[in-house]
Structure 1
Amino acid sequence: MKMKKGLTAKGRATRQRIVVAAALLIREKGIAGTSLDDVRVATATSKSQLFHYFPEGRSDILAAVTEYEACQVLEAQQPFLGDLSTWESWQDWQHAVVTHYTELGQRCPLGSLTAELGKSSPQTRAVVSSLYDKWEAALVRGVETVTSAGRDAALGRARSILTAVQGGVVMLQTTGRTDYLEAALTEAISPLRPVGTQVGSV
C-alpha cells in the first residue's frame, strides 16, 4: 500500500491502523454509514491527527481503504496464488477463492468503494488495474508451470480464469449463491488437470 511520503515508522503504523479500522467499519456499516467521527472513535485519534494523515479527509481515507481492500483480495488467495505449480495447488487456490467470496457473501467492499470513488477516476483505475495486473501475472506463471503452453496461450487461459472468478462473483452478489462461482472456476481450470486425474481429486 502506498504511504504518505515523509512519515516516520510510527507515523506509517498509525496511518495503517486508521486504514484497517476504516476498512472494518465500512465492511460492517457500509460506506454511507461510516463517518469520519466513527473512524476517529474506533482509532482513538483526534481530528487533527486524522487530517494529518489524510489531508483531503473522507476521499483520502476511501482511496486508502480501496487500495487496502485490493491487497486483501490477493492476500486471501495466499499462499496458493504464489505457487500454482501443481494441480493440487490449483485446487487449493480455487477453494481459497470460493471461501473468500463466500465469507463476503453479497457484500463486496472493493466494488462498493470503487463505485463511490467513481470507476472512471484515475485513482480508482490505478488501484484496480494494479490488482488485476498482479493477479493475472500470478495466474500466468501458474499456467506456464503446469502446462507446456506458450506465453500467449498461458495469458489467454489466465484471463479466462480471472474472468470466471469475476463473473461468478457477480452472480454471487446478485443471487447469494456460490455454485455459479464454483462451476465457473472448475470449468476454467479443468484444462490444467493432468491426464487421468479425476475432477476434485487431490
Structure 2
Amino acid sequence: MDRAVQRGRVAGVVGGLTKKGAATRERIVAGAASLLRERGVDEVSLDDIRGATATSKSQLFHYFPDGRAQLLLAVAQYEAQEVLLDQQPQLDALGPPGSWAAWRDVVVDRYERQGTRCPMSALTRRLAPSHPEVGPVVAILLTTWQQKIEDGLRRAGVGEPRTKAMIILAALQGGVALLLATGDSTALRVALDQALDGLI
C-alpha cells in the first residue's frame, strides 16, 4: 500500500480541504519534515521551507494561517505517524513465531539510522512550553503503539498482554533515550531483547 495512503488512514481527513488541497498541505508538511530532519528545528525558517517545497507565501499561510508554530505542530503529527509507519508491516503482523524478532530488527535499525537526532523529540521540546496541543500528539502515538503491541501479544496467546505491552514499550523508549544521549544502541538492543524474552 502507498505510504501516503497509509499516512492518510492514520491521520484522517484534514477538514475542509479538497483532495488537491490535502495533497498540497501534505507536500508542504513532508518537505518541512525532511528539512527539519536534515538541519534541526532551530535552523529552518519559513522561507527555507517555502524554497524547499516550491510554495508561495500566500499558499503557506493559506494552509498554516498561524505561521511557523502551526506548521511545526503539523510536522510533529507527521513525524508521529512516521514512527508507526516505519515499523510496518511488521508491527501489524506481531503474534506468530518469528514476528517479534522481525519487528525488533526493524525498530533497532530505524533508531540506529536516526542516530542522536530525533525530530519528534526536538519538535515536542520546542512546542510544548507554549503549545499544549503537542502533548496529545505524543500521547496518541504512544497509546497507539502500545495497543498494536498488545494486539500482537493477544494473538500470541500471552497472558496479561496490557502489562507486557507496557513493559516492552517502556524498554524500547528507555533504550531510545539512551541512544539519543550517547549515540550507542547497545542499551536499546539489550532492553528490547529482555522485554521480548520468551517471544523471540
Fold-level similarity (TM above 0.5)? yes
Taking structure 1 as reference, are residues 36 and 19 closer, same or farther at Cα in structure 2, changes over 3 Å only?
same
Corresponding residue for residue 95 of structure 1: 105
In 2, the alpha carbon distance for the partners of 1:185 and 1:86 equals: 18
2:197 to 178, 190, 193: 190
1:164 to 165, 171, 175: 171
List runs of 5+ in structure 2 lacking aligned partners.
Answer: 1-10
Taking structure 1 as reference, are residues 48 and 2 closer, same or farther at Cα in structure 2, changes over 3 Å only?
farther
Displacement, 1:86?
A: 1.4
Q: Tell me if structure 2 keeps the 8 A contact 1:168–1:178.
A: yes
2:22 to 1, 9, 12: 12
In terms of mean alpha carbon deviation, does 85-94 or 139-148 score higher?
A: 139-148
Q: Which runs of 4+ in 1 moved over 6 A?
A: none
- Write the letter of the residue equivalent to 1:170: A
**Partner SS, residue 197 of structure 2:** helix
List runs of 5+ in structure 1 lacking aligned partners.
Answer: 194-202
Taking structure 1 as reference, are residues 15 and 68 closer, same or farther at Cα in structure 2, changes over 3 Å only?
same
2:78 to 68, 79, 83: 68
Matched, 1:51 2:61: yes
The structure whose Rg is larger is: 1
2:150 to 120, 133, 140: 140
1:179 to 151, 172, 186: 186
**How high is the TM-score relative to the length of structure 1?**
0.90
Q: Tell me if structure 1 keeps the 8 A contact 2:116–2:179.
A: yes
Displacement, 1:41?
A: 0.5
In 1, the alpha carbon distance for the partners of 2:12 and 2:67 equals: 17
Q: Tell me if structure 2 keeps the 8 A contact 1:143–1:192.
A: no
Q: Tell me if structure 1 keeps the 8 A contact 2:178–2:184.
A: yes
Corresponding residue for residue 35 of structure 1: 45
In terms of mean alpha carbon deviation, does 3-12 or 55-64 score higher?
A: 3-12
Taking structure 1 as reference, are residues 24 and 148 closer, same or farther at Cα in structure 2, changes over 3 Å only?
closer
* Backbone CA RMSD of aligned residues: 1.3
Corresponding residue for residue 6 of structure 2: none
- Write the letter of the residue equivalent to 2:194: E
Corresponding residue for residue 96 of structure 2: 86
Identical counterparts, % of pairs: 46
In 2, the alpha carbon distance for the partners of 1:59 and 1:162 equals: 29
In 2, the alpha carbon distance for the partners of 1:77 and 1:107 equals: 18
Q: Tell me if structure 1 keeps the 8 A contact 2:128–2:135.
A: no
In 1, the alpha carbon distance for the partners of 2:84 and 2:139 equals: 13
Q: Deviations over 1:45-81 (max 9, x none)?
A: 1111100000111011100000000001001111011
In 1, the alpha carbon distance for the partners of 2:184 and 2:89 equals: 26
